[in-house]
Amino acid sequence: MAESYAPAAKVRPKAGFDDRLPLGAAWGGRLSLRARLRWAGFLFVLPALLHLLIFKFYPMLEAARLSFFRYDLLTPPVFNGLLNYKAIWENPLFHQSFWVSAKYMFGVSLPEWFLALGLALLLNRRMPGQPLIRLAYFLPIAMSQIVVAMVWKFMYNPLGLVNTLLGFVGIGRTNWLSTEETALPALIAIGVWRGIPLFGVIYLAGLQSIPKEYYEAATIDGAGPWQRFVHVTLPLLMPTILFVMVMSLLSAVKVFLNPLVMTEGGPNGTTRVLPYFIYETGFAYYRMGEAAAASMVLFAFVFGLTLIQLRLLRRGGVE
Amino acid sequence: MTPYFKKLSAALSTRSAADMFTVIDTLLPGFTTKNVLAPIRPEWLGYKDLDDMKKAFLPGALEGYIHEGKLYAVPPIASVFSLYINKNHFKEAGLDPEKDYPRTWEDIAKVGQKLVKRQGSTITREAFDFAMHSSAWTMWYMEALTRQHGGSILDAAGKKCTANSEAGVKAMEVRSMYARKHKISDPTVSVGTNALPADDVPKGRVSMFISHAGSVAQFGPKVMEHIKVVPFPQVNPAKPVSIVYGFALAVNPHIPEAKQKAVHDLIKHVMANPKEWYDKTSYPFPSADFLQLPGMEVAKKTRYLDVFVGDIKTGVFVTRSPHFIEIADAMHRAMERVVLKGEEPKKSLDQACTDIDRALAKK
């Protein structure tokens, strides 16, 4: 029996499982197991890495290069230094788009943080038909984004479902997508509706990973539901909350399809988010250099935002 | 700008465009100034030269496709905007659609008061509406209105915006008066979209609407039984001005000359059957003898061909500029500020001109 409790260091591993031993000529060299595993790992991630390099990083570098050129798609690019950056800085439409993006980003993210948490808390309790309810609230994410945009466009139509329902409670007809005051809130509402289920699931996973013993101990100590939420749930859920904050802001700032399909940036530019401005400048006005410069500004903004949030994540104890 | 033209631009930039493709006249200056279209050779189409070819077309029909004396596309259709009126609505309102149809913009306001339907202060059926769905349509309307008032969107050299002139302000006042002053139009009622901007007409949600000749085919004969098409409204019917536009066939300059010649043969073939084009699209074919072709007498009565051709004869192409889309977008935003927010036309057009001049200053 004593042998079975012997220190591990004294147990000699069998040959072939020791990464310090030579592995023979099968792989054409004297690679250790650790090196072989490293190579195997690298080969497994290589397709994804190539995809990233070719379809993400190369276009990003190319966009960065193009931002210093005048390029109209139809004739060869001409170097013009920082003039594209100067042009977008002097363009009021760029500033308008930047603020529209900021309004959209916070307009969507802030409600998502709270509503998704509320939904997750609700679904974390036992209730009849729970699997069906979970399926139902997850449906908005399962739907194709273009389908979502088209369906909501019909719903926001002057004769559509939204106005019909509001008509029952005496609220007059509104052309939601053609009125300056309502167009952006209408798009924000769709963003929130689509984001809540996703972030709700993430919150739910976070909630279910909190050991029940903590709640039992708090209950024995006399803590009520609110105290349990504030002193047990919130601190332990903090990494998830910060993750949701990062992800929701990043996904909101990239919104493009809904403004493209539903409003084309109008009316009067009130839904022209920065990605739509970039698209319009490049492909409608043939000013690819300025579009690339605006992309770089958006990239810097998102990068800065991510750095701030990563710092917040670390402060919240998430590595 | 429709996705097709964005794709075409991308294809031209990568030299992967088709041998022959369609262009719209408004985008032609943007293409010709960048040498991405091959000049059309009239002699390969069976004409002596460009002047000889012009004689075979309606007067001015090729002007929108000519740049520095060379033709760059051949139009199988010429489109124009005319006024569609709902005969049933007119009769319900005690109006005779044959006699009481509007000739001027002021007439629209007058008959509109009889045609509009309201429930309290809410309009349930518009008497008249301008399409709001696209900046190109806004540009067509604004260009026509501005020219009817004696002005233009750009100066003669095409270097400076003049849309905020007195004529431009009057044009914008007309553009907005049905919604803001006469209350016979409500931008919140229209459901017209890019695919079917005139969709309110067949659905009976609007009594008068300005649309292109293609709407006749889109609505179909059953709907057209209740619709009458009348000439484009004017400021002064004695000096009519309307707007024409068209889609035309262009040749890829990056293909070998022999292939370019083959494409010209294809264009010749495509242009050889105007009646078939017309039957399927209801866009008039811009050839000089089009109205004399067999079957066109019937089309004059049932498809208002004579009205459209009449408007084509008084029509001009919109502002020529490589920056057309930016100009149109700036004018569209100006119109939205006035119609939707009630901003002063002059102030809104001043802003539009600032935006347009900034675009024109760019290379």
Q: Is the ipTM of this complex over 0.85?
A: no
Q: Which residues of B touch A178 (CB under 8 A)?
A: 132, 187-188, 340
Q: Are B276 and B51 in contact (CB under 8 A)?
A: no
B231 and B270 together in one domain: no
User: What digits encode the pLDDT tens for the residues B74-100?
Assistant: 999 888 999 999 999 999 999 999 999
- Considering the domain architecture, whether residues B158 and B289 belong to the same structural domain is answered as no
Residues B142 and B286 in one domain: no
The share of chain A scoring above pLDDT 70, in percent, equals 89
Domain co-membership, B112 together with B37: no
Name chain A contacts of B359, Cβ cutoff 8 Å.
285
Residues B13 and B106 in one domain: no
pLDDT of res. B295: 84
* pLDDT at B10 (0 to 100): 79
Using a CB–CB cutoff of 8 Å, tell me whether A174 touches chain B.
yes
Rg (CA), chain B: 21
Q: Count Cβ neighbours within 10 Å for each residue of B323-340 and write b for 16 or more, e otherwise.
A: bbbbbbbbbbbbbbbbbb
Contact B363 A70 (CB under 8 A): yes
B187, B341, B363 ranked by CB distance to A175: nearest: B187
Backbone angles phi and psi of B360, in degrees to 5: -65, -30
Average of pLDDT values for A287-315? 88
pLDDT of residue B191: 60
Q: In sequence order, what DSSP letters do the residues of chain A get, joined into one string? A: -TGGGS-GGGSPPPTTS-TTS---TTTTS---HHHHHHHHHHHHHHHHHHHHIIIIIHHHHHHHHHTTEE--SSS--EE-TTHHHHHHHT-HHHHHHHHHHHHHHHHHHHHHHHHHHHHHHHHTS--TTHHHHHHHHHHHHHS-HHHHHHHHHHHTSTTSHHHHHHHHTTPPP--TTTSHHHHHHHHHHHHHHHHHHHHHHHHHHHHHTS-HHHHHHHHHTT--HHHHIIIIIHHHHHHHHHHHHHHHHHHHHT--HHIIIIITT-STTTT--HHHHHHIIIIIS--HHHHHHHHHHHHHHHHHHHHHHHHHHHHTT--
Whether B340 sits inside 8 A of A284 (CB atoms) is no
Contact: B36, A74; criterion CB under 8 Å: yes
Residues B54 and B148 in one domain: no
> Does the pLDDT of residue A4 top 60, yes or no?
no
Same domain, B169 and B259: no
Whether B325 sits inside 8 A of A285 (CB atoms) is: yes
Domain at B55, CATH number = 3.40.190.10
Is the model's pLDDT at A202 over the cut of 80? yes
CA A247 to chain centre: 4
Q: Which fold has domain A85-315?
A: MetI-like fold (1.10.3720)
* Residue B290 pLDDT grade (very low, low, confident, very high; cuts 50, 70, 90): confident
- Cα separation, A263 vs B26, in Å, equals 23
pLDDT above 90 (res B113): yes
Closest approach of B34 to chain A, Cα-based (Å)? 6
Gap between the Cα atoms of B149 and B167, Å rounded? 5
User: Average of pLDDT values for A261-268?
Assistant: 88
Q: Which residue in A257, A255, A253 sits closest to A305, CA to CA? A: A253
How far is it, in rounded angstroms, from Cα B7 to Cα B14?
A: 11
Is A317 a residue whose pLDDT tops 80?
no
To test the contact with chain B by mutation, choose from A173, A182, A257, A270 the residue with the greatest count of B C-beta atoms within 10 A, namely A173
> Does residue A15 or residue A305 have the better pLDDT?
A305
| pLDDT confidence tier of residue A291, bands split at 50, 70 and 90 | very high
> What mean pLDDT do residues A188-206 have?
93
Per-residue pLDDT tens digits for B186-245: 877 766 666 677 888 888 989 999 999 999 999 999 999 999 999 999 999 999 999 999
For B149-185, where are the alpha helices, taking DSSP H only?
Answer: 166-180
- B152 and B206 co-located in one domain: yes
Asked if A179's CB is within 8 angstroms of B340's CB, the reply is yes
The token duo for B103 is: 């000739």
Instruction: Identify the pLDDT of residue A9.
Output: 46
Same domain, B174 and B224: yes
Per the model's pLDDT, the better-predicted residue between B6 and A69 turns out to be: A69
Task: Please tell me the least confidently modeled range out of A73-77, A106-110, B78-82, B327-331.
Answer: A73-77
Are B336 and A72 in contact (CB < 8 Å)? Answer: no
Q: Nearest CB to A285: which of B122, B191, B326?
A: B326
B6 → closest Cβ in A157, A174, A283: A283
Among B118, B191, B343, B347, most A C-beta atoms within 10 A, so best to mutate, is: B191
Mapped to the 3 state alphabet, what secondary structure does A271-316 carry? CCCHHHHHHHHHHHCCCHHHHHHHHHHHHHHHHHHHHHHHHHHHHC
Residue type at position B316: V
- Please report the pLDDT score of residue A112 as a whole number: 95
Q: What confidence tens digit (pLDDT) does each residue in A266-278 have?
A: 888 999 999 999 9
User: pLDDT digits over B58-78, tens only?
Assistant: 888 899 999 889 999 999 988
**pLDDT higher for A133 or A117?**
A117
Contacts for A107 with CB less than 8 Å, ≥ 6 apart: A184, A185, A188, A191
Full residue range of the structural domain in which residue B98 is found:
80-238+321-360
Calculate mean pLDDT across residues A116-125. Answer: 89
For residue B34, the 8-state DSSP code is T
Considering the domain architecture, whether residues B99 and B121 belong to the same structural domain is answered as yes
The distance of A185 to chain B (nearest Cα, Å) reads 17
**What total of structural domains would you count in chain B?**
2
Shortest Cα–Cα distance, B104 to chain A (Å): 28
- CB contacts under 8 A, A 77-96 vs B, are 87, 90-93
Rounded Cα–Cα distance for residues B252 and B21 (Å): 8
Kindly report, as residue ranges, where domains of CATH 1.10.3720.10 are found in chain A. 85-315
B221 and B161 share one domain? yes
| pLDDT surpasses 60 at A151 | yes
Tens digit of each residue's pLDDT (9 = 90 or more) over B42-55: 999 999 999 999 99
Q: Are residues B297 and B203 in the same domain?
A: no
The overall average pLDDT reported for chain A is: 86
Give pLDDT, residue A2. 39
Give residue B194's pLDDT: 60
Q: So what's the pLDDT on residue B195? A: 63
